[in-house]
Structures are given as structure tokens and as C-alpha cells.
């Protein structure tokens, strides 16, 4: 999901011009709020006033910011408005936020689609949202200048008010006049030294409605006449319905219909419980297809065999094979990570209402315009006839960014077949067993050290399914290399200075649907690289921190976070008996993160006591949000490091719910401390960058504790 | 017919006896603040109070709570003024927010039983409430803060 910086920069101007040209400073429409949007009648009433850009200002001074991206916990509900409000000189207390509809105005900067991912929202919108604010401000100033009979240059803005001498006008008072003016072609953005909002910690704007049950997630959409469906899907990926008997299901009170859709059999009922009981009562014969023999343990063995040979080159310099032979010491290691489910707290769901010439979709999605196009295909409508209402996402982590729009297309098929508005709801079991996993990977690595213990040869083979390869984004696979499989290795700072290195990739094609999971390739490459560096430090007889200092001497931002985290964690100072520290540093999504974990083994379980984290993400737009995202990424990474594992036997996923697909709980929570490196560099992403280092930090601490190196996730409590 | 008092309002529901309380609250009473997360009492997103005690509504047959008084997140306070809600706001706990109704209901029940909970009490009372966004550290701090706020 990364974009080449050059590409996005080039296309940025075009997109920005489009966005600024469409900027509307309109009157607020009472009732056009988020809750009303869930009711079709109210949404229709609001349609003529639907904004086509990034803000509207109401006579009561309320400023509504429209989000081109989805809020799924990562905090853009606050950070994007901060950017806009900064240039608008808005009164922060009057900011309101809404998800934008699916429309070209809200395409991601430089991309032909509207989506949320790649930790890109804040940094890619850094200019566009500021420009939107600056443009609105210019219009308000112009309107005020006319009203006051002064020059625009004699006006200044403060806290939602235009001031010229003793004359004052609030933005709400000026909105109607400003709406009649032509937006300026260019606006000047503030110098960083003049920022009042950017860089200061701000609490989340979505907090109040998430504390009293008001916040509406996709699951919470309700309206008169809406039915609920639960779908029986094949027990094996790619399986299809051979035959089914719905007679018992139809007898369940509350069941209204049973319909066949491409993904299985949907039971449509008055409410969830009837639909679920109806599904339990279905009798279905499945054509299981070729995936009925899939076995994840056997795949692991196959991957290891595949790694015997080099794959397609991903990053090559010099002659790694020859350099390995010449090296003073040779370290060889196989690493492995399993398939993982995202398991967001809100199970997948999607509500669809199809009319003759219009379709409405309510869901928590990261891929609005792809969902819109997919809905249009199935309903025979044009994309502009499909309204996507983005609801709050009860976690996304990538699962709600499916290039196939799987949970949306299925819900559209169900509503189409039922001929009624339907909310299709997945159970937790459906979610865990439903595929779209972080692929399992094997890494086989051979590293040669010189006599001083410095790596001089590096051979690295990666084996695992390609996420992009079987998706509509397959054109992003270049020369057979899916960058998301090798990111974090192919571009590793350690490899840059090794004259002889060879990174290669095997991308086996298998019937298991795979997808990006929070931090994507870095979920495994961060673990592998930072564990390996610890192995090399050990072989070189050096302290892990000192060893990294030497290797990263030319990489100031890596070094900066490493030193900060180590210092704050008291690296090298004694710990209570039975505890040990490990550290890791990794760059991802334009941000640099180092973490120090200290661990013990307690009652046959790994206990992580503390994680000290340092991040350099360039300009810290909302430091409070960055701290929260580091905490969040660490917990997400720890869940994977300590528990995350899906097993597939005879094509059937063995885990099904949180009892056997475990995630971190309160009693396992370490103390987390987050430090932000002050920076004026351009902003990087923060939603994912906290995840990659933590598994390695814990693995390295376990090695320091036990003397045993663990090269597979999840980690085990072996003393 | 099952009679339930939800947030002070007594209602009759024409539902099967084995229908979990969660779906009566959400799909029958239309109160969507109480969440569905797992359906097997593993995640705590559906936590409500029944006669003041915390309970996972997703596995509780409605017949088992007939005639009892149910409090959901919508009924915890009229204006988000419960000390737990105030502490949650002060410490900016939420992220995606999906689990937070359940977290807040578990925390409120804990404070009622133990006005000055220890970290071990918090572990015991809240380890049944999952948060995939990882807000546990703030939840812990907010429970302690709520205890202070409750003392006034």
C-alpha cells in the first residue's frame, strides 16, 4: 500500500487543485448528522446538501470536517481536522467530523481510489487538509473585508473570528457571503513556527460518543424493514454448494427467507438470533474442491524445502554466495511465522438497501470506492448510483480493506436475492475461519561475519503467499516481487552496507485467501531482521545495543530512537532476578521505532513487564494520538508474538473464537512508555509502525533470559 | 412473552426463551451500545448489569433474567457523568471504541463492589474484556482515576 513518494508528489497538485476547486462553504443542514444518515429517509432529505469537499461551516459557527478516510481507532478523526483547523484558525471546540461519502473528491492523494491503509492518512493529507482550511479562511477573510470595508490584508483570524481593528465577525456569520465567492487559486500555508494546533497533544474528537453507546458502527445500523442475514459458507476455502435443504431453517420462527448466493446459503430473518438458529438448521452438501487437503503444518515443510533454492531476486549486490564462503564465521537460521487473522472486535457486517435506481450500503470499510464499484457491478447500477455510508469501524487492521470487497459483495448478493434491505452479519467464528489472513512465511538466512564480527555476506530467502499477486493490485508486483513480502528485508539499513547480499522471494500460489494485516510484511520481517541482528551480536561477542550502534552509524533516525529507548529503559542496568531485556529497532511506513522489552517466565507463561518505545515519525501532528498508536501497535504485536496462530488441517481452520485464537488480555498487559523524538522531517505513518519491533524485542529478551533462540512465532515459554 | 426492565423502562418482549439477552437488547429494544463480539462470553463487549451485577449478555438466555433490571451503557448515566465515563474521557481511553461499552460496564461494576480497586482487582474484573486496539494501560489508569472521581 506504499506509494512511491515521487508519484504521489506529482499527482498531488492535480488532486489538490480538484479538491480546492470543489471546496464548498455551505450552510449547515440541521439533522444531517451521522445518526440521521443511518435512516434512509433522513439521508434523502440531506442529499441536496451533501458536501463535495472537506468542510462546511454553519451559522452557529460549527465547522464540519469531512474525512476522506475511515476512522478505525487510529485517530484520524482528530488528526485530519487538526490540519484543516490549523490553517483555518478555527475554534477547535466547534469542530465536528463526518466520514465523507464515496466520491472522486475524496480519492486518496495521487491515487484513483478512496481508501484507508498503509498508515498514509495523516502524512498524505498533510497538505490537502491544510489547503482546504487555508482556502476556506481566505474566503472568509474576503467576505469579512467586504463587509468591514477594509482590505483583506488588514484582517486577521483568531479562533473562528475575522478581526479588523475593532470590527469582528464570526465564521458562522460570514459563511453565506463566503459561499458566493470564488476560491483563490493559490493559498499560502503557515510556517511551522506559527502553528497553534499541529504538534500539540489533542484529545480524540470521537471520544464522547464512544463513551455512552451513541457511536454508530456498521453493526449498529437499524431501520424499519431491515432484516438480518447470517451466511453458511463452505468449510474449505473455495468450496461451493452442491445441494441444500432449508426446510428446517425455514421453520425457525423469525426466519423470512433462505437464499443462495455465490459464497453460500444465507438465512434472512427478523433479527440476528433467528438468522443464526436458521443457519444452524441448514443441511448443506458441499463441493469442497481442491483445498480440502490443505494442511498448514505440511505447508511449513514445503516452504522449508522451497527455501533450499534461491527465489526471484528482490535485492542483490555483489556475490553473496562467494562472500559467504570467505567469511570468518557463518550463521544460518530458519525463521517462521504462521497464518494470522485480524480478528477486529467488531465482526464483519454490511447493510444493503437496493432500490430501482439507487443502492445504499452502510458498513465499516477501508475501501469505499472499490466497494462502490463492486456494488454497482452486482446491482447493474452506475457507481454514482451507489451511496456508501462509512460507519465507525470496530477495528480494521487491514481486514476491512479487501480488494475483492468480499464482505460487501456478499451482503449485496444477499440483499439482491432477498429483494429486501438486509444486514449481513458475520459471527466471530465466521471471521476467524473466513480467510484473508496474514500469510505464513518462512525465512532462510545465511550471514557471514568477518573476523571483527561485522556482517559481510547476507543471503536471505523468503517463502510465502503474495498478497498483491492474486488481487486487482497485481500490476504492483514487479519482476515477480510483491514488495509487501520483502519490505523490511530488501530495504533494510543493515543490508545497505553489505557489499555482497542476495534477498530472494518465492511466492507459492495456494488457495488460502491472504491480506495485509497491520504493518503487512513488516509483521514478519521486523521479527526476523531484529532477531537475526541479535544472533549476530551474540556471535560477535558484542552487546546488542553496541552492535547495532556500529551497524547503524550512518542511519541517524534509527540510531536516534534506539539510543532514546535504550536510555529510558535503563539498558545495561540490573533487573530483578529472573528478568531480562531485549531490544529492536525497525523502520516502516516512514517512521522509525525502537522498543525495549523486559520479560520473565512465570508459571509456564511469558510475562512482558515493560515495553519502552521511542518513535521518530517526523513532524508529530498530534502527539497524543502517536502515543496511543504506539501503545496500540505494541499490544497488537504482542498478541501475535505470544499467541497468534491459525492451523489448517484438511482444509479446515482449526481455531474459531477468542478462546483458541487468543489475544492479549488486561492481566497480561505490560507497562508501556512512549517517547517521541522531536523532528521537523515530513510526517510518517504511526498506525502500524509500533507493531514490527515488539516480537523481536521480546524474543531477544527471552534469549537473554534463557540462552535459547526462538525463531518461530508465536513464542513459547521454554526456560 | 418475557418482561424486562431495561434502563428503568419495563417492556414485554415476544421472543423465544433461549434468545440471548444481547439480541433482545440490540434487535428488540433497539439499544445498540451493547456490542456483539464473540457470542461465547470470551470478549466482554456485551457486558451489561443485571440487578447491578456485570453479566455477559451474549450467552444469557433472556428467560434467565426475566423480571430483572438490566442496565446498558445507555442507562449508566443520563449525560456521560458516571465517574467511569468521566475518567475515560479525561484519559482519552478509546480508540476504535467497539469494546468500550463493555469495558466501561465492567469497570463500573468493579467500582461498585470495590471502591478502591487494586491492580490485581482490575486484572480480575477486566481480563474478560478484550480490546484489540490495546487500550488496557489507559483503562487501568482510568479505573483508578474513576475511583478518585467517585470519592468526589
Residues of A in contact with B26 (CB under 8 A): 272
DSSP string over A136-150? HHHHHHHHHHHHHTS
Residues of A in contact with B40 (CB under 8 A): 428, 657, 659
Q: Do A211 and B100 touch (CB under 8 A)?
A: yes
Residues of B in contact with A348 (CB under 8 A): none
* Chain A interface includes B1 (CB < 8 A): no
Residue B121 to residues A120, A660, B53, B56, Cα–Cα distance (Å): 39, 25, 16, 19
- The alpha carbon of residue A11 is apart from the nearest alpha carbon of chain B, in Å, by 31
Residues of B in contact with A206 (CB under 8 A): 94, 97
* Topology of the domain comprising A296-339+437-706: Aldehyde Oxidoreductase; domain 4 (3.30.365)
B2-76 and B83-151 share one CATH topology? no
Q: Where are the beta strands (DSSP E) in A308-454?
A: 312-317, 329-337, 349-354, 359-363, 386-390, 422-425, 441-449
Residue A571 to residues A546, A581, A598, Cα–Cα distance (Å): 11, 8, 10
N-to-C CA span, chain B:
43
Q: Do B40 and A659 touch (CB under 8 A)?
A: yes
Average pLDDT for residues A278-301, to the nearest whole number?
98
Residues A612 and A593: their CA atoms lie apart, in Å, by 10
* Contact yes or no for A300/A713 (Cβ under 8 A): no
Which of A675, A668, A613 shows the shortest CA–CA distance to A638?
A668
pLDDT tens per residue across span A659-707 = 999 999 999 999 999 999 999 999 999 999 999 999 999 999 999 999 9
Residues whose CB falls within 8 Å of the CB of residue A14, separated by 6 or more in sequence, listed in order: none
Q: Please give the CATH number for the structural domain made up of B83-151.
A: 1.10.150.120
Average pLDDT for residues A444-459, to the nearest whole number?
98
- The alpha carbon of residue B128 is apart from the nearest alpha carbon of chain A, in Å, by 7
User: Is the bond preceding residue A714 a cis peptide, omega within 30 degrees?
Assistant: yes
Which residues numbered 16-45 in B keep a CB inside 8 Å of some CB on A?
16, 19-20, 23, 26-28, 30-40, 42-43, 45
Query: What is the count of residue pairs from A and B with beta carbons less than 8 Å apart?
Result: 177
Residues A218 and A351: their CA atoms lie apart, in Å, by 7
Best mutation target among B22, B38, B85 (most A Cβ atoms within 10 Å) is: B38
- Name residue B21's beta-bridge partners: none
* Contact yes or no for A54/A132 (Cβ under 8 A): yes
Residues of B in contact with A71 (CB under 8 A): 96
A218-289+348-425 and A296-339+437-706 share one CATH topology? yes
Q: Do B42 and A427 touch (CB under 8 A)?
A: no
Residues of A in contact with B139 (CB under 8 A): 666
pLDDT tens per residue across span A216-236 = 999 999 999 999 999 999 999
Best mutation target among B130, B133, B136, B144 (most A Cβ atoms within 10 Å) is: B133
* Contact yes or no for B27/B14 (Cβ under 8 A): no
> A707: how many CB neighbours lie within 10 A of its CB?
9
Residues whose CB falls within 8 Å of the CB of residue A388, separated by 6 or more in sequence, listed in order: A101, A102, A361, A363, A365, A368, A371, A372, A375
> A10: how many CB neighbours lie within 10 A of its CB?
11
Q: Do A428 and B98 touch (CB under 8 A)?
A: no
* Chain A interface includes B77 (CB < 8 A): yes
Using CB atoms, pick whichever of B16, B28, B43 lies closest to residue A345. B43
ipTM of the complex: 0.99
In B, minimum Cα distance to A70 occurs at B96
Model confidence at A44, in pLDDT bands (50, 70, 90)?
very low
Best mutation target among A206, A345, A518, A610 (most B Cβ atoms within 10 Å) is: A345
Residues of B in contact with A75 (CB under 8 A): 95
* Topology of the domain comprising A218-289+348-425: Aldehyde Oxidoreductase; domain 4 (3.30.365)
φ/ψ of A620, rounded to 5, equals: -90, 95
In A, minimum Cα distance to B20 occurs at A273
Q: Of the ranges A2-16, A123-137, A524-538, A588-602, which one carries the lowest mean pLDDT score?
A: A2-16
Using CB atoms, pick whichever of A211, A272, A346 lies closest to residue B23. A272
Using CB atoms, pick whichever of A394, A634, A669 lies closest to residue B98. A394
Q: Of the ranges A24-33, A105-114, A195-204, A623-632, which one carries the lowest mean pLDDT score?
A: A24-33
pLDDT of residue A415: 98
- The alpha carbon of residue B1 is apart from the nearest alpha carbon of chain A, in Å, by 14
Helices A556-569 and A544-551 pack at an angle, to 10 degrees, of: 160
Architecture of the CATH domain B2-76: Roll (3.10)
pLDDT of residue A719: 66
Place of cell 464522547: A208
Average pLDDT over chain A reads 92
* Chain A interface includes B9 (CB < 8 A): no
Residues A347 and B36: their CA atoms lie apart, in Å, by 8
Best mutation target among B29, B70, B95, B120 (most A Cβ atoms within 10 Å) is: B95
Model confidence at A183, in pLDDT bands (50, 70, 90)?
confident
Tell me the domain boundaries of chain B.
2-76, 83-151
In B, minimum Cα distance to A396 occurs at B96
Place of cell 466482554: B44
Q: Where are the beta strands (DSSP E) in A72-116?
A: 95-99
Model confidence at A20, in pLDDT bands (50, 70, 90)?
very low
pLDDT tens per residue across span A463-479 = 999 999 988 899 999 99
Give a three-class secondary structure readout of A161-206. Answer: EEEECCEEEEHHHHHHHHHCCCCCCCCCCCCHHHCCCCCCCCCCCC
pLDDT of residue A10: 30
* Chain A interface includes B103 (CB < 8 A): no
Cell numbers given for A345: 472486535
Residues of A in contact with B38 (CB under 8 A): 428, 657-658
* Chain A interface includes B13 (CB < 8 A): no
Which of A715, A614, A616 shows the shortest CA–CA distance to A668?
A715
* Contact yes or no for A178/A25 (Cβ under 8 A): yes
For residue A1, is pLDDT > 60?
A: no
Using CB atoms, pick whichever of B35, B85, B136 lies closest to residue A212. B85
pLDDT tens per residue across span A224-271 = 999 999 999 999 999 999 999 999 999 999 999 999 999 999 999 999
- The alpha carbon of residue A662 is apart from the nearest alpha carbon of chain B, in Å, by 10
Cell numbers given for A432: 476467524
pLDDT of residue A342: 98
Using CB atoms, pick whichever of A73, A208, A393 lies closest to residue B89. A208
pLDDT tens per residue across span A326-374 = 999 999 999 999 999 999 999 999 999 999 999 999 999 999 999 999 9
Q: What percent of chain A has pLDDT over 90?
A: 90
For residue A30, is pLDDT > 60?
A: no
List per-residue pLDDT tens for chain B, 152 residues long. 999 999 999 999 999 999 999 999 999 999 999 999 999 999 999 999 999 999 999 999 999 999 999 999 999 999 999 999 999 999 999 999 999 999 999 999 999 999 999 999 999 999 999 999 999 999 999 999 999 999 98
In B, minimum Cα distance to A220 occurs at B32
Burial of A179 (0-12, 13-18, 19+ CB in 10 A): middle
For residue A430, is pLDDT > 70?
A: yes
Q: Do A213 and B33 touch (CB under 8 A)?
A: yes
Burial code of A371-409, b = ≥16 C-beta within 10 A, e = fewer?
A: bbbbbbebbebebebbbbbbbbbbbbbbbbbbbbbbbbb
Cell numbers given for A36: 440521521
Tell me the domain boundaries of chain A.
5-210, 218-289+348-425, 296-339+437-706
pLDDT of residue A343: 98
* Contact yes or no for A280/A232 (Cβ under 8 A): no
> A201: how many CB neighbours lie within 10 A of its CB?
13
Q: Do A658 and B130 touch (CB under 8 A)?
A: yes
* Contact yes or no for A715/A547 (Cβ under 8 A): no
Higher model confidence: residue A31 or residue B81?
B81
Class of domain A5-210: alpha beta
In B, minimum Cα distance to A638 occurs at B134
In B, minimum Cα distance to A346 occurs at B37
Backbone CA torsion sign across A108, A114, A116, A117: negative
- The alpha carbon of residue B102 is apart from the nearest alpha carbon of chain A, in Å, by 10
Residues A369 and A360: their CA atoms lie apart, in Å, by 13
Average pLDDT for residues A625-637, to the nearest whole number?
98
Q: What one-character DSSP code corresponds to residue A655? A: -
- The dihedral region occupied by A348, where left means phi > 0, alpha psi between -120 and 50, and beta the remainder, is beta
Using CB atoms, pick whichever of A211, A346, A635 lies closest to residue B89. A211
Residues of A in contact with B33 (CB under 8 A): 212-214
Looking at chain B, the number of H-run helices and the number of E-run strands are 6, 5
- The alpha carbon of residue B112 is apart from the nearest alpha carbon of chain A, in Å, by 18
Place of cell 470470551: B42
Which residues numbered 122-151 in B keep a CB inside 8 Å of some CB on A?
122-124, 126-140
Average pLDDT for residues A53-67, to the nearest whole number?
92
- The alpha carbon of residue B22 is apart from the nearest alpha carbon of chain A, in Å, by 10
Q: What one-character DSSP code corresponds to residue A92? A: G
Q: Do A345 and B92 touch (CB under 8 A)?
A: no
Q: Do B38 and A657 touch (CB under 8 A)?
A: yes
- The alpha carbon of residue B27 is apart from the nearest alpha carbon of chain A, in Å, by 6
Average pLDDT for residues A581-604, to the nearest whole number?
97
* Chain A interface includes B61 (CB < 8 A): no
Amino acid at each position: 500500500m506504499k506509494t512511491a513518494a515521487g508519484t504521489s508528489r506529482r499527482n498531488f497538485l492535480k488532486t489538490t487543485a480538484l479538491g480546492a476547486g470543489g471546496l464548498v462553504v455551505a450552510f449547515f443542514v440541521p439533522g444531517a448528522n451521522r445518526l440521521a444518515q443511518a435512516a434512509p429517509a433522513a439521508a434523502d432529505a440531506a442529499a441536496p446538501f451533501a458536501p463535495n469537499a472537506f468542510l462546511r461551516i454553519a451559522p452557529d459557527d460549527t465547522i464540519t470536517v469531512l474525512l476522506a478516510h475511515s476512522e478505525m481507532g487510529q485517530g484520524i478523526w482528530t488528526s485530519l481536522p487538526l490540519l484543516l483547523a490549523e490553517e483555518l484558525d478555527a475554534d477547535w471546540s466547534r469542530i465536528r467530523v463526518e466520514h465523507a461519502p464515496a466520491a472522486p473528491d475524496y480519492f486518496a492523494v495521487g491515487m484513483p481510489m478512496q481508501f484507508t491503509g498503509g498508515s498514509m492518512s495523516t502524512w498524505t493529507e498533510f497538505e490537502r487538509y491544510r489547503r482546504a482550511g487555508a482556502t476556506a479562511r481566505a474566503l472568509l477573510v474576503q467576505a469579512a473585508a467586504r463587509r468591514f470595508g477594509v482590505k483583506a490584508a488588514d484582517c486577521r483570524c483568531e479562533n473562528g473570528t475575522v478581526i479588523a481593528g475593532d470590527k469582528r465577525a464570526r465564521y458562522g456569520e460570514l459563511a453565506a457571503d463566503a459561499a458566493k465567492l470564488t476560491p483563490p487559486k493559490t493559498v499560502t500555508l503557515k510556517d511551522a513556527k506559527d502553528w497553534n494546533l499541529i504538534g500539540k497533544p489533542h484529545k480524540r474528537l470521537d471520544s464522547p460518543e464512544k463513551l455512552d453507546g451513541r457511536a454508530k458502527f456498521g453493526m449498529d445500523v437499524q431501520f424499519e424493514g431491515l432484516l438480518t442475514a447470517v451466511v453458511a459458507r463452505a468449510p474449505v476455502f473455495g468450496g461451493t454448494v452442491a445441494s441444500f435443504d432449508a426446510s428446517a431453517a425455514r421453520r425457525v420462527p423469525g426466519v423470512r427467507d433462505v437464499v443462495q448466493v455465490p459464497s453460500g446459503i444465507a438465512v434472512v430473518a427478523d433479527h440476528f438470533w433467528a438468522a443464526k438458529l436458521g443457519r444452524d438448521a441448514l443441511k448443506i452438501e458441499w463441493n469442497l474442491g481442491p483445498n480440502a487437503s490443505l494442511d498448514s503444518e505440511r505447508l511449513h515443510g514445503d516452504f522449508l524445502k522451497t527455501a533450499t533454492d534461491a527465489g526471484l531476486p528482490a535485492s542483490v549486490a555483489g556475490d553473496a554466495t562467494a562472500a559467504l564462503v570467505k567469511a570468518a564465521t557463518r550463521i544460518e537460521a530458519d525463521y517462521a511465522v504462521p497464518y494470522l487473522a485480524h480478528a477486529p472486535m467488531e465482526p464483519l457486517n454490511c447493510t444493503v438497501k437496493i432500490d430501482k435506481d439507487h443502492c445504499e450500503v452502510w458498513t465499516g470499510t477501508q475501501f469505499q470506492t472499490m466497494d462502490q464499484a463492486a456494488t454497482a457491478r452486482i446491482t447493474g447500477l452506475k457507481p454514482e448510483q451507489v451511496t456508501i455510508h462509512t460507519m465507525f469501524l470496530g477495528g480494521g487492521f487491514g481486514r476491512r480493506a479487501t480488494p475483492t470487497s468480499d464482505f460487501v459483495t456478499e451482503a449485496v448478493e444477499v440483499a439482491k436475492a432477498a429483494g429486501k434491505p438486509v444486514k449481513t452479519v458475520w459471527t466471530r467464528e465466521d471471521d476467524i475461519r473466513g480467510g484473508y489472513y496474514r500469510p505464513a512465511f518462512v525465512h532462510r538466512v545465511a550471514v557471514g561475519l568477518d573476523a571483527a564480527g561485522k556482517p559481510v555476506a547476507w543471503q536471505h530467502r523468503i517463502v510465502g503467499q503474495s498478497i498483491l499477486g492474486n488481487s486487482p493490485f497485481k500490476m504492483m508486483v514487479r519482476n515477480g516481487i510483491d514488495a509487501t513480502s520483502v519490505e523490511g528485508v530488501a530495504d533494510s539499513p543493515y543490508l545497505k552496507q553489505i557489499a555482497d547480499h542476495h534477498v530472494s522471494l518465492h511466492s507459492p500460489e495456494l488457495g488460502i485467501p491472504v491480506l495485509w494485516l497491520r504493518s503487512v510484511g513488516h509483521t514478519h520481517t521486523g521479527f526476523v531482521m531484529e532477531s537475526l541482528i541479535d544472533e549476530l551480536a551474540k556471535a560477535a561477542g558484542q552487546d546488542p545495543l553496541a552492535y547495532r550502534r556500529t551497524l547503524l552509524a550512518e542511519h541517524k533516525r534509527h540510531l536516534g530512537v534506539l539510543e532514546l529507548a535504550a536510555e529510558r529503559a535503563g539498558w545495561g542496568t540490573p533487573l530483578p532476578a529472573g528478568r531480562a531485556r531485549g531490544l529492536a529497532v525497525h523502520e516502516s511506513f516512514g517512521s522509525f521505532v525502537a522498543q525495549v522489552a523486559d520479560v520473565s517466565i512465570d508459571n509456564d507463561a511469558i510475562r512482558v513487564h515493560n515495553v519502552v518505545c521511542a518513535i521518530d515519525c517526523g513532524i508529530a501532528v498530534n502527539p497524543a494520538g502517536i502515543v496511543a498508536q504506539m501503545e496500540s501497535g505494541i499490544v497488537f504485536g504482542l498478541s501475535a508474538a505470544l499467541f497468534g496462530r491459525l492451523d489448517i488441517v484438511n482444509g479446515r481452520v482449526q481455531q474459531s473464537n477468542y478462546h483458541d485464537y487468543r489475544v492479549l488480555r488486561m492481566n497480561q498487559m505490560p507497562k508501556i512508555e512512549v517517547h517521541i523524538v522531536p523532528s521537523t522531517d515530513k510526517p510518517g505513518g504511526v498506525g502500524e509502525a509500533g507493531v514490527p519491533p515488539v516480537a523481536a524485542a521480546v524474543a531477544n529478551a527471552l534469549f537473554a533470559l534463557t540462552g535459547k533462540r526462538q525463531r518461530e512465532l508465536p513464542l513459547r515459554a521454554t526456560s | 412473552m418475557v418482561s424486562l426492565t431495561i434502563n428503568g423502562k419495563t417492556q414485554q418482549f415476544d421472543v423465544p426463551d433461549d434468545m440471548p439477552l444481547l439480541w433482545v437488547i440490540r434487535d428488540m429494544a433497539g439499544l445498540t451500545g451493547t456490542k456483539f463480539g464473540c457470542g461465547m462470553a470470551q470478549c466482554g463487549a456485551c457486558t451489561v448489569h443485571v440487578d447491578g451485577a456485570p453479566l455477559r449478555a451474549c450467552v444469557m438466555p433472556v428467560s434467565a433474567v426475566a423480571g430483572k433490571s438490566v442496565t446498558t451503557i445507555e442507562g449508566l448515566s443520563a449525560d456521560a457523568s458516571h465517574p467511569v465515563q468521566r475518567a475515560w474521557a479525561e484519559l482519552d481511553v478509546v480508540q476504535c471504541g467497539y469494546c468500550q461499552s463493555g469495558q466501561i460496564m465492567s469497570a463500573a461494576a468493579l467500582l461498585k463492589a470495590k471502591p478502591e480497586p487494586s491492580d490485581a482487582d482490575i486484572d480480575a474484573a477486566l481480563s474478560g474484556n478484550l480490546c484489540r486496539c490495546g487500550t488496557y494501560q489507559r483503562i487501568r489508569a482510568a479505573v483508578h482515576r474513576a475511583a478518585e472521581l467517585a470519592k468526589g
